[in-house]
A and B are shown apart, each in its own frame.
Chain A
């Protein structure tokens, strides 16, 4: 292993700039002549826009322009799109209402964009925004997921009768129903997967600049995928041709999915900077983020499991209503369908699964992918249902899992819901997690707690997820409008240092370090001589960005392949320089050597030679710079068991997580320090969903939880330190043997926490977030 190579917990290369205040986030960018945008947003959830009078605002101090949906339409800027088709059970594509970046005739949620004010200062823009006079004709609002598709409901979009986006059944219903009719036992569970606001700490922002000389727009934006932004803004929104649009995702302060999507504000900023020929900057404040960032989750579901007398799962039936909000965000349709139903097998051999997903429109912010995206919803439903099954069968939750696990020798394992799992050893992770959690000692701890009047509970969650998104062929078949390969370029400079260009984007994951470790391992170049560059369409050739825990499993492999090409090229150059046959050149630890001799050239010397090709023969191409694309053959399937132990104060309903143990299979770890950090963060994201975070709209579609005063974010004193370990397996289709780790915690934690609370209280179920009052009420009813 190279020093600082694969497996080393290298301290992060990016940290110095973040620790000294030298990060470069979108809002940190300031240019001469910059103006500030502020959006006038609908205060109503559902209303007809009778008129907009911008005259007073336009005359306000410092105002450069006030623009509306009419201006946007006049300039031929097209509406926002949803890039994944889901075919409804009537054979028609999902219903996709028009989603203009500035409202045209109607507003459909509180926070919907009505106009933009652009002024010399932000304060002036805000002052003027209050002077935009809008005549709204308020309509009844649809705010509830469960009832949105009822027949007597207010219609939101003409194109979508009964507020239905799609109804998507999957599986053999008749076969599943038949099993249920003869099953030994049927366990059922109704649950809600609570709506979350993703809340990366850096609010979204966009800064656009237009060069009238080159006719190029440069858009700095808080994005997880600059090239995807450029493609959509060009090909669909008609902002500018791809070669005249540069999208830069500079340092980005957390994403968790919410910065994947192309938003109205970004399109408007890009358009306005050219229209006004002035740089325009927009930065969301937190209240706007609550109102208009895409939200996550929001399912209402019923799950049923048919069991035999040994507690074996025979068939599962799931009925889900998923709220997509007022419009379709960029990838929204795939979240409650492909990313959800295809994970319902979990770690188990359940042979038959039938799922029906009804996706509905409501007068709420659009809902799209958020850390885990579909997989947390599937896992929560399944892992809660498994605990209900255990209770119904009188089995220990660990035992019922053991009885149903996919056996180690069954991999690759074809599930009944499309996915073919790569590798896994689920029993190993479970047993290790139980040991880490001292599962056997729980009874004693529960008794001790009882003597203090406290209720202890322990809960398991054995999750599997599909990440490393994704084989292009697979997503193409499913209706995605893009391929999900990744690209890399590894460039030696003549002086021997290396620039690595990746199409993924780091917004906290530490790619600048992890990817440099891959390169130092493979090429033997000291890590300090390697720079990883990402996030700029003008620098990186192409890319699909970072989400779905894909960066290492897909993007890392592309880098490795580019490195392989360099080694091959280097052999040719070394053979020439060392006057040997190419077949005799070996490459070890950064040196090209002639086999059986002491003749050698370091890769840095080869690089120099490649750029100073004074005596190259015909056919030997100068330069030492290779690129590669990688399209994975399968998803990767991280899995693991998390164990949560809680103590509940029955008097107040407060829940304390006293111990949390996680054992995960992420395949090979490149930087264990970074991986562990991802696990911690994911767990707390999941704990937040389980205990604290619940986005709520009232019946009029007003967002009640519109700030941190009402939306509870997990803080340091809400959680303990964690016990994290691994039970790795080797995914055979991934050339690096890696899986993906960024979402696992958020997927594994919610059911572990709720299972623990249900266990402590002795109740069948409690919905998330398990707030003190909810827990107190459950404790009352149990007692």
Chain B
């Protein structure tokens, strides 16, 4: 790790100020991706601004039809939350299968979506549920938040405050894990709203995205079988030693079918 200057802040305002003053600062949430990256000297921020002391960023609340999760809420807390389990069980299950128990105790929802790893789990849920990402500056819709590989709509000094998820009718998350990293080779978050189906797909392409072709088919007939006839663009799929593009495309369909079955 290169050296850097560490600061712990206690409010969002202080965090923003610290960032603006820094030469090339980074916010750190749970640090479960950032610290390994820095250990390998693949990132060299001048300042690390730790959001862990910002109390307003932690917590889960359910208000009417919305579940709001503070950005610094750990995956373990989301997984264990009876409120999330009751409102959107698929979301609690997703959180409970990120990384491993020790990683879940440190890793946070805000950190996960701000990092936007192409194989991360949360982005699929944010997209599929049509969540709203609230920052210190604005509300960003889930559909507009994820721009590209490790790229989001966030500005340098923008801090995620919370993520609000609408309570879904029925939802399911199906993940096919990379046997080494245990990240998603493919993850499909499917939500069956009263007025239609939304599908968030992670792992398959450079950035988590909505599975529009899958949605289109499922909006016509909500059965697993209908997925067989969906043509997915193989050329857009990631390919690596763990899964070719063709196999990933296939897995997107299999995971979608399984999600449909779970929602049926």
Question: Contact residues of A with B, CB < 8 Å?
Answer: 123, 126-127, 130, 287, 651-652, 691-692, 696, 704-705, 708-713, 718, 771-773, 776-777
Contacts and interface: CB of A to CB of B under 8 A. Distances in A.
B242 A651 contact: no
28 contacts: A123-B3, A126-B41, A287-B40, A652-B176, A652-B251, A652-B254, A691-B179, A696-B241, A704-B241, A705-B180, A705-B241, A708-B181, A709-B180, A709-B181, A710-B180, A710-B181, A710-B241, A710-B242, A712-B179, A712-B180, A713-B180, A718-B179, A771-B242, A772-B176, A772-B179, A773-B244, A773-B247, A776-B247
A773 B242 contact: yes
A711 B180 contact: yes
Contacts of A651: 254
Contacts of A708: 180-181
Interface string B228-252: 0000000000000111100100110
A714 B64 CA distance: 45
A772 B243 CA distance: 9
A692 B179 contact: yes
A694 B244 CA distance: 16
A710 B182 CA distance: 10
Contacts of A130: 41
Contact of B250 (A705, A709, A776): A776
B262 interface: no
Contacts of A711: 180
Most buried by B among A692, A718, A771: A771
A186 to B, nearest CB: 34
Contacts of B247: 773, 776-777
A713 B182 CA distance: 11
B13 interface: no
Interface size range of chain B in the complex: 10 to 19
Closest 6 CB pairs between A and B?
A712-B180, A712-B179, A709-B181, A773-B247, A651-B254, A710-B180
A652 B40 CA distance: 33
Tell me whether chain B's interface is mostly helix, strand or loop, or mixed.
Answer: loop
B153 interface: no
Contacts of A652: 176, 251, 254
Tell me whether chain A's interface is mostly helix, strand or loop, or mixed.
Answer: loop
Contacts of B243: 772-773
A127 B44 CA distance: 12
Contacts of A692: 179-180
A123 B3 CA distance: 9
Contact of A771 (B1, B41, B179): B179
A455 to B, nearest CB: 15
A705 B180 CA distance: 10
Given A708-B181, A773-B243, 16 more contacts: A123-B1, A123-B3, A126-B41, A127-B2, A287-B40, A652-B251, A691-B179, A692-B180, A704-B241, A709-B181, A710-B181, A710-B241, A711-B180, A718-B179, A773-B244, A776-B250
Interface of B: 1-3, 40-41, 176, 178-181, 241-244, 247, 250-251, 254
A652 B185 CA distance: 12
B43 to A, nearest CB: 15
Most buried by A among B3, B243, B247: B247
A712 B40 CA distance: 19
Contacts of B179: 691-692, 712, 718, 771-772
A651 B258 CA distance: 11
A711 B250 CA distance: 23
A771 B240 CA distance: 13
Nearest to B186: A652
Contacts of B244: 773
B63 to A, nearest CB: 37
Nearest to A715: B182
Contacts of B178: 712
Contacts of B2: 127
B216 to A, nearest CB: 22
Contacts of B180: 692, 705, 708-713
A709 B33 CA distance: 12
A451 B56 CA distance: 53
Nearest to A691: B179
B57 to A, nearest CB: 28
Nearest to B181: A709
Nearest to A705: B241
Contacts of B40: 287
Nearest to A776: B247
Contacts of A127: 2
B48 to A, nearest CB: 16
Nearest to A696: B241
B140 to A, nearest CB: 29
B121 to A, nearest CB: 16
B58 to A, nearest CB: 29
B8 to A, nearest CB: 21
Contacts of B251: 652
A711 B241 CA distance: 10
Nearest to A285: B39
Nearest to B255: A652
A126 B254 CA distance: 46
A287 B41 CA distance: 13
B234 to A, nearest CB: 14
Contacts of A712: 178-180
Nearest to B257: A651
A704 B181 CA distance: 14
A123 B4 CA distance: 13
B112 to A, nearest CB: 17
Nearest to B243: A773
Contacts of B250: 776
A711 B243 CA distance: 14
A390 B175 CA distance: 39
B36 to A, nearest CB: 9
Contacts of B41: 126, 130
B181 to A, nearest CB: 4
Most buried by B among A123, A696, A713, A776: A776
A444 B179 CA distance: 30
A651 B241 CA distance: 19
B135 to A, nearest CB: 30
B104 to A, nearest CB: 16
